[in-house]
Amino acid sequence: MNRNVWLLALCQALLMSGNIVLISVNGLIGQQLSPSDTWVTLPVSTQFVGLMLATIPASLIMAKIGRKNGFMLGNVIGILGAMLCVYALNQAAFWLFCFSTLLLGIGIGFGTLYRFAAIEVSNPDSRDKAISLSMVGGVLAAVLGPNLAIASQHWLPGTHFSGAFVGITVLYVLSLVVLQFIGLPPVTPVEKDSQPRAVSHIIRAPGYLVAVFAAVVAYAVMNLLMTVTPIAMHKHGFHFEQAALVIEWHVLGMFVPSFFTGSLIGKIGNRMTIILGSLFFIACILVNMNGVSEWHFRIALVLLGVGWNFMFIGATSKLTQTYLPQDKSRAQAINEFAVFGSVTITALLAGNLEVTLGWQALNLAVLPFVCAVPLIYLLFTRTPTKVKA
């Protein structure tokens, strides 16, 4: 695999490291600053609102100014958001902190497109491996993110967790530097001048909505359970360091398989890879419903991570087979908006669902959505996907 893919993976690692820090501390900051338990996960929710709002503009902006300039813009917005988070925490300003995480979410929204950029710098026969390897950086993030969250707790005197956002600022600055060494292709005449088809034509392409549905379920269920886990662990008497370690194991489960997921797709196809991912999700839910020891949380979140990897990368692979070159920006934008719109909803509901349903009942509630994925794939993807002009 070429050098550009590995550098994109490094950018992805830096982005994800910051995201893991956010996941590790946002719920706890919400517990400290929020006016009621209902709003505990609002900082996480506003992060994903920003991400959702950025998905369509980010893709369309990159179609005009190119991937590299788009990624640089996203990093600058992320830096501004992280610096404003430090100020908001110093002022104990909950609503300002929520706005700051909104800006961070917008920056992350631009970064979600790294995996599509990896396709564009690779040979056609290496597409699936490029998608998968572009996310290998998550392995570095799995180690760097939680440890940064722990180490940065007392970087700034008098304000708990402010140091985490200093660390996030550094990560975004490093990403800006790495981007200068990546040879991303310029905007092509097809992308710039061709008239894309109507949205109705794009979503009716064979396999498109099926791929979007799998990606939505993978990310929404994963985000819901991951977001609630530190809160559930805290309620069951575990310390922050223990929750951060569980998140570290979870992120390793998300990204270690990326070393071979592309090859797996090449052998069994994206449909079977997605179905395999759903089985890991089901195993995660069964473990969570069986107990609340630290090992239950740890094993379940590893299974959750592996399931997400297979299902999400498999869905991305299938998605890229369903649109024409001139439809790329719109097709990707619709997919990202659907995925991160659902993630935003689950993040917003997470705190309330944990309070009203409880940890184990919440796991049971998401089971039907996970089971629907293999059923839909078996019913609607019997033949190979072909895109007609």
For residue 387, being part of any structural domain is answered with no
On whether the CB atoms of residues 47 and 26 are closer than 8 A, the answer is: yes
For residue 385, being part of any structural domain is answered with no
For residue 348, being part of any structural domain is answered with yes
Q: What is the mean pLDDT of the chain?
A: 85
Q: How confident is the model at residue 385 (pLDDT cuts 50, 70, 90)?
A: very low
> Cα dist. 241→44, 58, 122, 162, 351 in Å?
19, 35, 40, 17, 20
The mean per-residue pLDDT over the stretch 121-136 comes to 80
CATH of the domain at 300: 1.20.1250.20
Token pair belonging to 31: 């517990």
The mean per-residue pLDDT over the stretch 170-189 comes to 87
Cβ-count burial 45-69 (b if 16+ within 10 Å, e if not): bbbbbbbbbbbbebbebbbeebbbb
For residue 294, being part of any structural domain is answered with yes
Q: How confident is the model at residue 235 (pLDDT cuts 50, 70, 90)?
A: confident
For residue 344, being part of any structural domain is answered with yes
The mean per-residue pLDDT over the stretch 314-340 comes to 88
* Identity of the amino acid at 192: K
Q: How confident is the model at residue 121 (pLDDT cuts 50, 70, 90)?
A: confident
Token pair belonging to 101: 């995480």
- The pLDDT, as a whole number, for residue 32 is 80
- The pLDDT, as a whole number, for residue 276 is 94
- The pLDDT, as a whole number, for residue 246 is 85
Cα-to-chain-centroid distance, residue 357: 25
Could you say which DSSP state residue 381 is in? -
* Identity of the amino acid at 295: W
Q: How many domains are there within the chain?
A: 1
Q: How far apart, in whole angstroms, are the C-alpha atoms of residue 351 and residue 122?
A: 41
Residue 51: closest CA among 92, 107, 2:
107
Could you say which DSSP state residue 385 is in? -
How buried is residue 3: exposed, middle or buried, by Cβ count under 10 Å (0-12/13-18/19+)? Answer: exposed
Could you say which DSSP state residue 136 is in? T
Is residue 126 scored above 90 in pLDDT?
no
Radius of gyration of the chain (CA): 20
Least confident of 177-191, 330-344, 368-382: 177-191
For residue 389, being part of any structural domain is answered with no
Residues composing the chain? 389
- Taking only the tens place, the pLDDT of each residue in 329-341 is 889 889 989 998 8
Token pair belonging to 16: 């994800």
For residue 284, being part of any structural domain is answered with yes
For residue 386, being part of any structural domain is answered with no
Cβ-count burial 187-196 (b if 16+ within 10 Å, e if not): beeebeeeeb
Helix axes 94-111, 67-90, angle to 10 degrees: 160
Whole domain around residue 209: which residue ranges? 3-182+200-380
Q: How confident is the model at residue 158 (pLDDT cuts 50, 70, 90)?
A: low
Q: How far apart, in whole angstroms, are the C-alpha atoms of residue 122 and residue 84?
A: 37
Cβ-count burial 207-217 (b if 16+ within 10 Å, e if not): bbbbbbbbbbb
Q: How far apart, in whole angstroms, are the C-alpha atoms of residue 127 and residue 185?
A: 16
- The pLDDT, as a whole number, for residue 387 is 47
- Taking only the tens place, the pLDDT of each residue in 245-296 is 888 788 889 888 988 888 899 899 888 999 999 999 999 999 998 888 888 8
